[in-house]
Each structure stands twice: as structure tokens, then as C-alpha cells.
Structure 1
Amino acid sequence: MASKPLTIVIKLGTSSIVDENTHEPILSILTLIVETAAKLHRDGHNVVLVSSGAVGVGLRRMDIEERPKHLPRIQALAAVGQCRLMSLWDGLFSHLRLPVAQILLTRNDIADRTQYLNAQNTFAQLFDMGVIPIVNENDTLAVSEIKFGDNDTLSAITAAMVKADYLFLMTDVDCLYTANPRHNPDAKPIEVVTDISSLEADVSSAGSSLGTGGMSTKIVAAKLGTSAGVTTIITKSSKPGNVHEIVRYLQQTEQLDLGSEESSGSPDLPTPPPLHTRFIPSETPIQSRSFWLLHGLKPRGTLYIDHGAYSALQKKAGLLPAGVLGVDGHFGQQEAVRLVVVEKISPDALNGEFLHHGQEPKEVGRALVNYGSSEIIRIKGQRSTHIQSLLGYADSEYVALRENISFTQNNDSPRH
């Protein structure tokens, strides 16, 4: 039985590919990564690299010892380093006759739905052409408001965008442990995680002096990836060949599972793979548009809604102004907002202070709104038939259409 083609995203942090002290590219690791990507490509899989390292390489190129704190300086170094980094990748892949493409992203690039779909189409065309996309955050333009935060998050969003089967987060340890294995000899590896919310692991590992990520950001990325149906795997960055071995093992295991359903025999078990932590994807993954609403957009404010409105939304109704209790923030039409369920507003509440009878208000999702914050403040709690008289116009009877609302997972009840 032939293995099905997969889409595999491999995320590499700065510390994985750039020496923390000398800032020189670690050519041995880079070469192994290229060889691994080539093997996966030869097996018929689509491969995406999410590569940090532009600032680190820029430091070396400009003979600067420490990462500066001044943002324009960091952006300038990223501009210098990105050229060198892509030249390195292109040169190494060219030895194996594999073309690569550079894709630089910020949140602004995917905040517009059309641009998000365009990015998806670009990836699809690159795969058709046999090209390996190399993705990085556009550090020359990114400021805090439009940054993904770190490339772990960017890799998860990329994996969802390309509908990846696997997302590999390369790090300086083999896998997650119940405690820090460097300090605790009783630390046990965590090989499979079926429920991230109940995960008990040591995530104290911080990022390097060059990078921004640590183990906690990988857990966040795993939550994003698995919510979109992507199997997310943490494994050791200094052994990139692990990726190919793990993929082959998982494919062989899947084939054995399928074969055992058709045969009563006992086939040979595949060789166990290198140590890694595998996060099992959600059985009910978020669809592409919902994922974009939740994670592609930066919320500009908050709408506080009552339980009646929340129940109606779950039954596929839109958000009517009568169900809106309060507004926080300043935002315009077609901007994203958080949806928070609360009990009620006290009569003398000021600045969004809600009575919730011991229950903390909980964010349950995101929405693209049909009206700006100033308009919603005027129509909240009112019937839709009153919108015209209150505003002088009525673009829609809904504050947000149901198709423009997405719930976070595990939110069947905001009281959980």
C-alpha cells in the first residue's frame, strides 16, 4: 500500500540554526535540515520550512555582538540578515536541485480575508511546482501590533493555512518532560498528548538570547495546530533526521492499523521512532475560515453578550443588538472583536463592570462586526427594528452575521 502524500511544516528557531555566541550559521544543522526536507520531498510530500534567524545572521554580517533593543536597529539587521539567510538556504537546496521560495508574513498580510486566500493559493502553486517555501516573519516591517509574537505561532498559523498533516517544532530537547530533566533525574518523557488542557509538563525552558521562543510558546503553537487538525510534534533540532524517521513510523503505523482492519494476521511492527512528543489533533478541527477569524485577526475591542445571545449563536443565528450588554474599545465596521459572555450589567456599573455572580466573564469567540463601537453603544440592548431610528440608517439587522463569528474550542458552555 503506497503512502499518501503529506504536507509537513518544519519550524526552526534561531538557536537551532545560528550559534548563540558567534552568530555564525550552524552549517552542519542547516545541511541536515536540507537533506531531511529533500528526503521528504522525494517521498512525495510537500514541505514548508518556517525559519527564524534573520536577526542573528544580520548580527554576524555586521559584526555586532549583542542583539540591540532599539526596534529600528533590529529591523535593519533583519533586512541585512534575511538576504544572507535566504542565500544560505538557496545555496544548500540548489546542491540537491530543489528550488525554494521566500514568503515573508506579518499579521496584516493575513488579516484581510482575500490576502489570506491569496497566500493559500500561492502555497498550493508552489507545491504544484515542486518548490519548498521558506517562511519567516517580516521583521523589517513588523511592530508589536502586527507581530505574531514568535515563529512558533507563525508556524502554527502557516500549518493551518496549508492544511498541513504535521507540524514539527524543533527545539533543544527531545520532547516534553514531566519535570526539567537537567535537574530532576526522575523526569519522565511525555510521548503523546491527547488533551493539552490537562498537560502537566515542565515548560520552564526559556528562549535563547537570539530568539524569542521557549517551551511555553511551543505549547501555544501546539494548541493552535491541533485545533486546526494538525498533528503537532516537538523533537530535537540538532537531529533533523528525526523528522523523516517519525513521519515514516507514523505512516507505517497508520498502514498497519488499516491493514489490521482488513486482515486477521499479525504484521511486523515498525521500528520505534526517536523520542518526541506528539500532540493528537482535535477530532472536530476548526475550519479554515473560522481559524482565520480566531487567529488571523487582531481583536480591536470586546462585545459583552448575554447567555441568550450566546445560545442563539450556537444555534447558528446571528448576533442581534438586543443580546449585546456592553462594548469595550474603539473599532470600526468589519473589524474583529472578542465575544465575552456575562450575566448582566449592574444598574450602576461603569466602564464595563459586570455582575457575574461569582462566574468570571469568559471569552468564547471572535466576530467581525457590521457596526463600529460608537454605533453598537447606541443600539445595544435594542430591537433590530429600532436601528434605523437610532442611527439614521440600518446596514444590517445583525451586529455580526453568524458566518462572521467563530467560537474557540471547548466552549459548549461559558461556565466551564
Structure 2
Amino acid sequence: MTGTRETIAAARSVVVKIGSSALTSMAEGLDVSRLDALADAIEARMRRGSDVVVVSSGAIGAGMAPLGLRRRPQDLATKQAAASVGQLALAHAWGTSFARHGRTVGQVLLTAEDIARRANHRNAQRTLDRLRSLGAVAVVNENDTVATTEIRFGDNDRLAALVAHLVGADALVLLSDVDGLYDGDPRKDPAARLIPEVDGPEDLDGVVAGSGGALGTGGMASKLSAARLAADAGVPVLLAAASDAASALAGGPTGTVFAARPTRLSARRFWVRHAADTSGGLTLDAGAVEAVVGRRRSLLSAGITSVTGTFDAGDVVSLHADDGTPVARGVVAYDSAELVGMLGKSTSDLAPDARRPVVHADDLVAV
């Protein structure tokens, strides 16, 4: 067993994401037997001493069959209608399945705003932590009945990585209808090779990532993105087939593992990079770009050439080079109206109350 696999096998806090295709079928909706098998594997892991948070896709898929829908809806209203039916069925099914083990389930519905806004972020964190401390299983899903961008965003791979950071997880397990990462599409290329471990970006050279299937909207591309995101949080990832859940959660030699980065971003810098919405933008001259990106210095007003959008002090803004290329994100210390009068001015030319950095280095991350 490799070091990364050992870390995942021994993890005390685990987030398990389950894809739509692992829980639902186009004709029948929720497959209770598959859900029971997953609950059994998760319960076994919990009985070995791990806290587990489940991120469950499948709400839209679970609502399709009861509504007589034969294919995944494309319009937003029908997606939300299917999700409203499916979320009820999904939560009930998880509750019934875990009740066989005497385990209580709590449903936690999140939107991107709950992760992006710091106050909501903390509230979600406290709820998940308390459920875990009470011995319950938190089943997290995107709140697709009211969300808009979340449904267009894709499935829950990214949400699972954000939740892993939110709860300080030691490992993230992504379970779907694929048994690992291949260097090609094994459905089309019999010579495609399974990649058992990814230690860094160089291990992904030549890998082609595809999109999702009929029931889900993710795919290998979203799983790779989620693995990279989790790596920033210092969380190792296992990608495996849902049918191999028992082995995957028991530390068996299945799927592909992604090593975490040796140094993790601080919680605040991770939030700025991955979770926060941007409220506007600042365009920087070449010297400021080099200082911010190359030397990790604070952004001063002298290096800013223009302001776009409307924002308040404390919002997250995007920083761009003069050709429009995004180079960083950061928490701005002034509102947009204040900054307009500060553009290009050196610190000595500003009023005493306007001499602090526009974006402090501790609140800034390159992209």
C-alpha cells in the first residue's frame, strides 16, 4: 500500500461523494439495493472509528421516474421540479438505509452562496461538526430546488472538495460509475491504462478527461478538478467505482489515489481562492503583477490602473493583468468608490487613513 493509500485508509474524518449513476437509473429512479450497499460500507468505516460526511448526488435523477420524465431535463424549471421530488425521496432513502444500523441521518442542503459567504460558511461548518459529534451521518446535497448556477455548474464533485475543506477532513473519496483514472477512455480504447496514483501534475500528462453521462452532469474532468481543489486543502483523494465502495472505504487496492500537496493553504487563503464569489475587479500594471504573483507582496494603489464593478471593503475581487488575464484574487480593503480616487498614487501621496495596502499579501492568492 502506498503512503497516500495508507493515509486515506487511516483517515479519521472522511467525506464520501456518491455520484448520480451510483444511486439512480433512468427507468426506476432510486436503486435501494445499491444505496443499502453504500450505507453498509459507510457504516463499516464509521464503526472502525471514522467520522463520515456523505455528499450525495441523485436528487434530480431520483425525481425523474416519479414525474414520468424519460431523460434528464434541460430547462431549469423542470430540473428544479425534479429536484424537489427527488430530494425528499433521497433523504428518506438514506434515512431508512442507515436506520438498519441504528444510525440517524441529517440532511444538509447547501448552495454556492453558503460556501462563498464567510458567515454562511461558518454556520454550515458548525452544523456539520455538530451532527458528527452527535454520531449522526450528515448527507449533503446542493439545494437544486432553489439554486440556479449550482445546477448549471455540474454535479457535486466540487461541492465535495469544498465540504472536505469545510469540515477539516483527512480524506475525500469520490465514488461513481468509473473505477479510476485512465490515460484514455476505457469504453472506447481497450488499451487504456489505469493510473493507480497521481503524485503531481506531471502524472496527468496525456490524460484526456471527458464529461458526464446521462444522469449526471459531471465526469472525469470535474473529478480531476475536485482532486486538485482538495489537494490545495491538504486532503488526499481516492477515485473509485461505487460498486467497490466496501473495498475503497476499507483501504483496499482499488481506484486511483491523488496525493495532497505537502503544504496546504491556510483556511482563509483557500476560501479566497476556491469558495468566495468575486464582486469586481482591479487591473494591475506589469510591476504590480510581478510583485503580487512573483514576489507575493501586498497590492498597493500605485500599481492599479482601473477598477471594474461595484464592491465594498472586505469583498473578494479578481486581479487582472493589463491584457485582462486573471492573475490573482484577494480581499480588498477599500470600496470601489474610494479606490477610483487612489489609482496610480504612491502611498506617500495618499491621506493617512488610505495608506494601508489595497489587498494585503495574507489575503491574496495567485490563480
TM-score by length of 2: 0.89
1:318 to 280, 290, 298: 298
Using a 3 Å threshold, how does the CA distance of structure 1 residues 293 and 147 change in structure 2: closer, same or farther? farther
2:277 aligns with 298
Asked whether 1:14 is paired with 2:38, we answer no
Q: Provide the C-alpha distance between the structure 2 equivalents of 1:69 and 1:183, rounded to a whole number of angstroms.
A: 27
| Helix, strand or coil at the partner of 2:29 | coil
The correspondence for 1:331, drawn from 295, 307, 311, is 311
* Greater relative contact order (Cα < 8 A, sep 6+): 2
The aligned runs of 1:17-416 (5 Å cut-off) are 17-19=23-25, 21-144=26-149, 149-196=154-201, 198-200=203-205, 202-246=207-251, 273-306=252-285, 308-310=287-289, 313=292, 318-340=298-320, 342=321, 354=323, 363-388=326-351, 394=353, 397-408=356-367
**CA 1:146–1:179 in structure 2 vs 1: closer, same or farther (change >3 Å)?**
closer
Corresponding residue SS for 1:238: helix
Q: Which moved more, 1:174-183 or 1:145-154?
A: 145-154
Aligned length in residues:
358
* Alpha-carbon separation, structure 1, partners of 2:356 and 2:232: 32
CA distance in structure 2 between the aligned counterparts of 1:101 and 1:396, rounded to whole angstroms = 48
Q: Using the alignment, how far apart are the partners of 1:221 and 1:204 within structure 2?
A: 13
In the TM superposition, residue 202 of structure 1 has moved relative to its aligned partner by: 4.1
Runs of 4+ displaced beyond 4 Å: 145-148, 310-317, 385-388, 393-396
Q: How far off is 1:199 after superposition?
A: 0.7
Deviations 1:66-87 (A, max 9, x none): 3332212221221121111100
C-alpha distance in 1, partners of 2:197/2:12?
Answer: 20
Between 50-59 and 86-95, the greater mean CA deviation after superposition = 50-59
**Relative to structure 1, is the Cα distance of residues 201 and 79 closer, same or farther in structure 2, using a 3 angstrom cutoff?**
farther
Any stretches of 5+ residues in structure 1 without a counterpart? 247-272, 343-351, 355-360, 409-416
3-state SS, counterpart of residue 306 of structure 2: strand
Distance 2:64 2:210 in 1: 24
Q: For the aligned residues, what is the CA RMSD?
A: 2.5
The TM-score with structure 1 as length reference comes to 0.79
SS in 2 for 1:61: coil
1:159-191 CA distance string (max 9 Å, x none): 111111111111222111122223323222111
Cα pair 2:111 2:150 within 8 Å, conserved: no
Q: Does the 8 Å CA contact 1:370/1:396 hold for their aligned counterparts? A: no
Moved more, 9-18 or 107-116: 107-116
CA–CA distance in structure 2, aligned partners of residues 406 and 176 of structure 1: 29
Contact 2:32–2:93, Cα closer than 8 Å, also in 1: no
Contact 1:177 1:201 in 2 (8 A): no
Any idea what the Cα deviations from partners look like across 1:44-73, whole Å, max 9, x if unmatched?
101011101111111122222233322122
CA distance in structure 1 between the partners assigned to 2:362 and 2:40 by the alignment: 43
Say if 2:11 and 2:171, in contact at 8 Å, map to a contact too. no
How far does the alpha carbon of each residue in 1:211-238 deviate from its partner, in whole angstroms, 9 at most, with x for none? 1101001000010011110101110122
Instruction: Give the letter aligned to residue 231 of structure 2.
Output: T
Q: Which moved more, 1:10-19 or 1:56-65?
A: 56-65
> 8 Å contact 2:248–2:255 — kept in the other structure?
no
Closer, same or farther: CA 295–115 of 1 in aligned 2, 3 Å: same
Assess if the C-alpha contact under 8 Å between 2:19 and 2:177 holds in 1. Answer: no
Q: Percent identity?
A: 35
Larger gyration radius, structure 1 or structure 2: 1
Distance 1:154 1:376 in 2: 34
Checking the alignment, whether the CA contact within 8 Å between 1:327 and 1:376 is kept in structure 2 is yes
- Cα distance in 2 for partners of 1:53, 1:394 equals 52
The aligned counterpart of 1:357 is none
DSSP 3-state at the match of 2:244: coil
Q: CA deviation at 1:401?
A: 3.1
CA gap 1:203/1:30 in 2 versus in 1, 3 angstroms: farther
Deviation at 1:16, TM superposition (A): 1.2
Aligned-partner residue type, residue 322 of structure 1:
A
Distance 2:331 2:30 in 1: 43
